[in-house]
Structure 1
Amino acid sequence: MTGTSAKPAVTPLLEELLARIAADVPGALGAAVSVHPRGGPWSTAATYGPDTAFVPAQLNGFDGPVPAAGRTGAPTVTADVFADDRWPALTLSGLREQHPGFAADWPRVRGVAALPVTWDSEGRLVLSVTLARPATEETVNVLRRYERLAAMALVVAEAARPDRTEQMLDLVQSRAALEEAKGIVIALRRCDPDEAWSTLRRASQECNVKVRELAVALVELLAGAPAPQPDGDRTITPRPAARRAAEQLLRALEGR
């Protein structure tokens, strides 16, 4: 899969959020939000500082922690990105050659942390930060404090595009159903949000149903009533297979 640096609609809200993240992470040089749709091209939604060039470079051939997080769905951390053998093509000399406008910044870059935020089965966004010092798990913990804000800011930015309004409304509705279902899994399994998402995703794959349908079916099964949803074409209506999958999942979660 190849990436692109073409941006969706970028609002001051996204850019201000990235500036806040950079200010909150000790040693931060830049930050970015990138979009990783399943089966589609990667793109940057907003960038700050040298990440204006650094993240698109990773998405367009150099590889690196940002696309790795997008591919795997797991947080990716490196203490020294140019010495990390996971991405041999991502070199200081290569960046200097292809992005000379940031030549003064590249020698300062060391650590990178990238946190994937899953919307639904259709893709992810990745919130990332570049540092002048090693990145650690604590860096990821700081990013986690902003993941929901980043997701919602991206929705606002995309909704400003007339050609994307309907798609983003669908995305918001899917996200709401998934958050409710994840809350159910967290409560019953006493697990963290990442494990809850993995549980939902695994159940949807094993039963061959869409994860958003499974999420709505699970919420409705536990509530004993239809989940609150908008009328019209955006209503998520679980098929019988999704309702059976929700019943199986609930039994497993309750240990029956």
Structure 2
Amino acid sequence: MITEKQDERAPVTALLEELLARIAADVPGALGAALSAHHHGMPLHVAATRELATAFVPAQLDRFGGPVATACHTGEPVVTADVFADERWPSLTLSGLIELHPDLATDWTRVRGVAALPAPWDDEGRLVLSVTLDRPATEETLKVLRRNEKFTAMVLAVAEAARPDRTEQMLDLLQSRAALEEAKGIVIALRRCDPDEAWATLRRASRQFNVKVRELAVALVELLAGAPAPQPDGHRTIHPGPAARAAAAQVLRAFESDVELTGL
């Protein structure tokens, strides 16, 4: 299911549906999958869902709370073996879901685990890719989500860009994501960490030094390469300011000397 009107974006949104179907097929015991988005001051909302996630994710976001909202808020992956017994979401109960959607009562009784993977969307926003299972979610579940996150985000950006009022914004977003992916690669290599930790490190550094994360990312790439980062010409080129370059220098010094910056 796609929550927005089917229009000229139909081929792309159909691809999103197919991606969610493939993700669910790769996860044993999957009851549904969803892609949620939070960006540009908008609340976290459902972008696309499949099967039971069509009811389960909106129930989390609009009423009960749950793994998807937690992953977006913290920026950290969420895995739970039994979502209804998990103390992090006391309002998310089997009885509450049955009351909300009594026609799905049998399906709700099958729900056990949930995995939710957040990913960068823009300077302030996040995507959350999630699956609902009839068994405990594990780190292996997250690995499936990680394999599909980049392509899913790209398809969503193309779908958004099909809207006339969002084309320029989405082109800027794609450029930002390219810079962030390069910088994440640097952090992974220097800190020997996984992609989630690399992204969290960049976000913490941007807050600590009060610079935009995309500017910090480009400054870090250019500092390590000793040359300008490859970017398109024109108004979409990301130009790091002096503060971002100074922050990148401090971050790189901390990485190379294996010293932790405050909060990193």
TM-score (norm 2): 0.89
The answer on 1:17 being equivalent to 2:19 is yes
What RMSD, in angstroms, separates the aligned Cα atoms of the two structures? Answer: 1.9
The aligned residue for residue 235 of structure 2 is 233
Shift of 1:51: 0.6
In structure 2, what is the Cα distance between the partners aligned to 1:88 and 1:222? 46
**Residues 157-172 of structure 1 correspond to what in structure 2 (within 5 A)?**
157-172=159-174
Contact 1:6 1:43 in 2 (8 A): no
Shift of 1:6: 5.3
Shift of 1:119: 2.8
Shift of 1:59: 0.4
In structure 2, what is the Cα distance between the partners aligned to 1:77 and 1:201? 21
**Residues 1-256 of structure 1 correspond to what in structure 2 (within 5 A)?**
7=4, 11-37=13-39, 39-255=41-257
In structure 2, what is the Cα distance between the partners aligned to 1:47 and 1:198? 26
In structure 2, what is the Cα distance between the partners aligned to 1:166 and 1:99? 39
The DSSP-based 3-state class of the residue aligned with 1:30 is strand
The DSSP-based 3-state class of the residue aligned with 1:19 is helix
Which amino acid in structure 1 is aligned with residue 154 of structure 2?
M
Shift of 1:38: 6.6
The aligned residue for residue 262 of structure 2 is none
In structure 2, what is the Cα distance between the partners aligned to 1:84 and 1:173? 38
TM-score (norm 1): 0.92
In structure 2, what is the Cα distance between the partners aligned to 1:21 and 1:139? 10
The DSSP-based 3-state class of the residue aligned with 1:82 is coil
In structure 1, what is the Cα distance between the partners aligned to 2:188 and 2:88? 33
Contact 2:34 2:49 in 1 (8 A): yes
Shift of 1:193: 1.6
Deviations 1:116-174 (A, max 9, x none): 11234311100100111111222112211111121112112212222111111111111
Shift of 1:109: 1.1
Q: What is the identity percentage for the equivalent residue pairs of Structure 1 and Structure 2?
A: 76
Shift of 1:200: 1.8
* Stretches (4+) displaced over 3 A: 5-10
In structure 2, what is the Cα distance between the partners aligned to 1:184 and 1:151? 21
Shift of 1:218: 1.2
Aligned length: 252
In structure 2, what is the Cα distance between the partners aligned to 1:89 and 1:150? 30
Question: Is there any run of 5+ residues in structure 1 with no aligned partner, and where?
Answer: none
Contact 2:39 2:121 in 1 (8 A): no
Deviates more, 1:238-247 or 1:95-104: 95-104
